Homo-oligomer: A and B are copies of this chain.
Amino acid sequence: MTQHNHQTAPTQFVEANGIRFAYRRFGKAAGVPLVFNQHFTGTMDHWDPAVTDGLAKDREVILFNNAGVSSSSGEVPTTIGKMGANAVAFIKALRLTKVDVLGFSIGGFVAQEIALQASALVRRLVLVGTGPRGGEGMATLTPEAQEIFGATYDEPDRLWLRVHFTKSEKSQAAGREFLKRFRLRAEHRDPEVNDKVAPAQIEAISEWGAPREEPFEYLKAIRQPALVVNGGKDVIIYSVNSFILQRHLPDAQLVLYPDANHGSQYQYPKRFVQHVSAFLSEEDAR
């Protein structure tokens, strides 16, 4: 059997909760698979093959579109809780009983919900460019995010140079390399998301980010080992929120990368793959 990769993995479908979920599955079929949860308005094509293929060397990786996103049917729910429930239904529909879960940005909120709602299903968590419920500057899109997502771009892909990278020359150069990799899959790409996705996701983000009493107490219930990763200069979900996650999760490591914005894992894919691989494959915690 040919082992697929990010470019060649076919889009498959599985049904659960009345939704037809689109997914792709590839890598070394051994051990616990790693399920990826995508960012705001992103599809399976928005992952970086340097990251997905890098991590697929030692484990199976599973990309999917949650309900209502791109090639998956259904509607985007307006709460992260319901997105989490859909993700759990998707994972169970694949008859998996134990997974590692990676979530980026809003996908990191969903990853936390998966761990809260289906604790026994989750072995380890990787939370990238994300934050806790009621985190700092999370009640609405940050002013920087509003400006960046509100602007128009000659080429639409250039949006991601501003979302994921800092303004420094080095970071922007890394961003241009990322955009090339992100277009390497030439055939059978996902359709862009429809117009209903962004408003529903923004509503869910606002509900998740709204200030509340003792906002971080819920993190005590997430007992899985977690690796929290971000750029030190994230203007989309402020980096301090990664620090807050580390402080309040019972068993979390934090890694912050230099001169990096929201998509630090795309600026330093080698470092990121190394850190995540070491975390997912270590046998004991010492």
Contacts and interface: CB of A to CB of B under 8 A. Distances in A.
B269 A258 contact: no
A174 interface: yes
A286 interface: yes
A257 B249 CA distance: 11
6 contacts: A232-B246, A251-B258, A251-B259, A253-B256, A253-B257, A274-B278
B232 A254 contact: yes
Given A268-B285, A274-B278, A286-B268, A256 B246 contact: yes
Interface of A: 174, 225, 232, 239-240, 243, 246-247, 249-259, 267-271, 274-275, 278, 282, 285-286
B246 A252 contact: no
A257 to B, nearest CB: 6
Contacts of A255: 253-255
A258 B252 contact: yes
Contacts of A258: 225, 246, 249-253
